[in-house]
Amino acid sequence: MDQNALKRQVAQAALQYVEPGTVLGVGTGSTVDLFIEALAASGIRLAGAVSSSERSSAKLLAAGFAVLETEAVEVLATYIDGADEIDPRGHMIKGGGAALTREKIVADLATRFVCIADASKCVDVLGAYPLPVEVVPMAVPQLIRRFARIGGDARLRAGCVTDNGQQIIDVSGLSITDPLAMEAEISQWPGVLTVGIFARHRAQIALIGAPEGVRTLRF
């Protein structure tokens, strides 16, 4: 099976975690695009969705779902989103689609994070995928230097402006053996809006698409 077929597998499997009549948290990315298509085809009725990006909001609206602002909800039962990497404890790297800040905001509203990904995203230690960090443009040069001091090669993502009007730097060369500690540390650096380590907001459930079928991991 090709990667797209594996993504379709998990997108379909995620429907079992959608509670009809509730407000659903919806993430961003190619796997989530397929999930939105599967959700629309399923006929499941929702009270609405809280989306993590303009991209996903447009797809949800086109599929006939109401998109709500965060002020309309106090808690979400479930947030469904993908990952660029996920480790054996449910910690993730996210932000390849430049939506990490809004993804973390929506994840914070949710009681349950369901990660949908193909098996290529599973790693023993986070960091092979360059770590996205959303930053205030003024801070880019000093943050590049600061990452260099901890062994990271940080580079500005060319041509990228986030939905929040900020920039992304991608940091390669890191081995993130303690995701919670690194997330807490980098989050305090001046100029960092959001770091793409999802340790505090890790997945509770991961649906992993593999040639032998969908594996369900619980953390």
**Would residue 103 show up in a list of annotated catalytic residues for this protein?**
yes
* Closest C-alpha among 186, 217, 219, 178 to residue 202: 219
Mind listing the domains of the chain with CATH numbers?
3-123+200-218 (3.40.50.1360), 131-194 (3.30.70.260)
Rounded mean pLDDT, 67-73: 97
- pLDDT 10s digits, 144-174: 999 999 999 999 999 999 999 999 999 999 9
DSSP per position, 146-191: HHHHTT-EEEE-TT---TTS-EEEEEES--BS-HHHHHHHHHTSTT
The structure's pTM equals 0.96
Contact 176, 197 (CB under 8 A): yes
- Catalytic-labelled residue, pool 85, 103, 134, 183: 103
Contact 108, 75 (CB under 8 A): no
- pLDDT 10s digits, 78-128: 999 999 999 999 999 999 999 999 999 999 999 999 999 999 999 999 999
Give the Cα separation of 199 and 164 in Å (integer).
Answer: 22
Query: In this predicted structure, what is the pLDDT of residue 1?
Result: 75
Which residue type sits at 205? I
